[in-house]
Amino acid sequence: MSEKDVVKELNAYLKGEYMGIHAYEHYIHHTQDPHIRTELQRLQQDHKQHAAKIAERIQDLGGQAVMDNGIKLSMMEFMMNIKGYPDSTERILKGVLNGQMKGIEASEDLVRGDLDDTSLQLVKQNLAEDRDHIDQLNRLMS
């Protein structure tokens, strides 16, 4: 695999992180529960850190990191905005949980692709934290 292929895969992953960051932003904005808002902000910060680490890795490989989630994912975000975001805490948490699970699935597909060992380990670390997010969100729902 070439560094160019790795950069391409990492940029695809990075676009997904940006989509997650933006989704968290909308959910945070719509939640009325201060405790839930704080928890969602903490999870969003994890995704921001994931994005920063991936962007740094891309630069280390001589590539240029994308700065947003791209047209396709932006259209998906646009459609989410049209549908509206849930207004109850339970529905917000279910929405976040669903998005987190979809993000993990997409990322797991990525790690089967063209990644070098260092990049693969970085994505796997992020995925481990994302799986912890699932547990944390389930605890918030109960």
Which has more pLDDT, 131 or 72? Answer: 131
- Per the prediction, the chain carries an average pLDDT of 87
Write the burial class of residue 134 (CB in 10 Å: 0-12 exposed, 13-18 middle, 19+ buried): middle
Closest by CA position to 17, among listed 66, 63, 61, 58: 66
The predicted-structure confidence for 100-136, as pLDDT tens digits, reads as follows 999 999 888 877 877 999 999 999 999 999 999 999 9
User: pLDDT tier at 80 (50, 70, 90 boundaries)?
Assistant: low
3-state class (DSSP) for residue 130 = helix
- Domain ranges in the chain? 3-141
pTM for the complete prediction? 0.86
> Domain 3-141, what architecture?
Up-down Bundle (1.20)
